[in-house]
Structure 1
Amino acid sequence: MKNKAIYLKVTNDMFWVQLFWAFGVMGVMLIIQIGKLILGINQGNAPDNFYSTFFVVANFFTFIIGIISASFLPYFVGNGVTRKDYFRGATLASIGLAVILPIIALVISVLTQFILKQVASVTFKEPNFDAFSSDSNLIGDIIQFLILTPYVNPESNLMLALGIFSLNILMYYLAGWLIGVAFYRFHTVIGLGFILISVTILTLENVLIRNTLNLPIHDNFSFIDLPVTIAVPVIVLIVLLVLWTIRSLTKNVTIKM
């Protein structure tokens, strides 16, 4: 079998397995969402829509499956797949997930809103991901940044909204993957160091995207003020640098059977 077919097989396997996990998370979220909608209607409260709710959850979910994706390495290598094909396949799978998940979330959100508005008078809450509470605590600001990633309302600019959502998902996936392969290759201390590196990368990416979109930024990070013509290439460079690091860590790693 040609190498091209092998890495595409890796892509196909990882994409569908991880998408199945995503469907499980979405299913649980949809059940919770329906329950909250019923309570909201009875109590007269405006509920959040599915898209904005999944927007927050998706980052952490893909971060976790990014970590887990490192465990696919010994499986594929044990079945005759090269480390290079594993890396290429996993990269394409992560991009596929980053593209498809926002679209699925949007479709579910639109359908649920449409159905509910046919049977009841429901007003959905407008999401606000820019409501920061700054207390001059750097760690607290970073945690808020990791939770409240840059958001664009799809009603205002659909393509930009989906693009930013996809970029957020991809970055969290890659950050998790970087941590996963670091722990697989090195001991715990170095692995913990890569957690710090990943948090720094996600924070920097967040600031740069907010810079590009003219969204609010914490005072602690206001010194990172780059024009769009520089910020966008830097964002792309960060993505490529993370991928290069992952490839370097997995290139000659000893497989633990």
Structure 2
Amino acid sequence: MPNTSSSKKNSQDQPQFSGPIPKSSHRTEMGKSEDSKKNSGKKLKDVEISVPIVYGNIAFWLGKKASEYQSHKWTIYVRGASNEDLGVIIKRVVFQLHSSFNNPMRVVDAPPFELSEAGWGEFEIAITLYFHSDVCDKPLNLYHHLKLYPEDENSSMSTKKPVVVELYDEIVFPDPTEAFLARVQNHPAVHLPRLPAGLTLPPPIPVEDASKRRKGDTKDNPFSQWFLNFSEADELLQLAAARQQVRMT
């Protein structure tokens, strides 16, 4: 956070936001308004499309270059759970920063959906996801508390190892249109359901050749080495380890 008079670890002047918050089960179900339902084409009943996402921040301490109000460089972002490009689902992302920043409402219209800044204070950031018109016309509000300092207060800060805080969520789109499903059915960021028997979809739209990906694709993100792994395999291993630990105690 830029020049303010509050504590460096906790701002006393935090902005307050309201709106729906992702469920504790990490599964957020989206819906369509009545107008959208009328104009969205044939819908697939009892079908769900899910999109795993991760949102959070990475913060680098500036070390000897740090000043009183510029101690860290940080980036807030929304990414695919395995670092896929979410542009097939998300049209734009709005990050609402602390009011002490110039132009605190920042709009990112293309992937990667991230925003970088510098400062010294921790505060809550509201993140609003806007989807393509054939996906959902209702935005989704997320909230993330920017973290710059290690959880362990006894830990020494390092310019080489950043602080990374991420949250996992799964956005669920019930009763999608055939056109929406056909458009995203080959995309790696999207989890597709089993389709009803006898249902045939239009030919899938080819996914962009990996060799022709545009510069800045999330797979090439320079922070990817620091991102946490939220794969299902890792989660299952953690659950198995926890069960084993319970048996041993």
The structure with the largest helix share of the pair is 1
TM-score normalised by the chain length of structure 2: 0.24
The structure with the largest strand share of the pair is 2
Which structure carries more relative contact order (alpha carbon 8 Å, separation 6+)? 2
TM-score normalised by the chain length of structure 1: 0.23
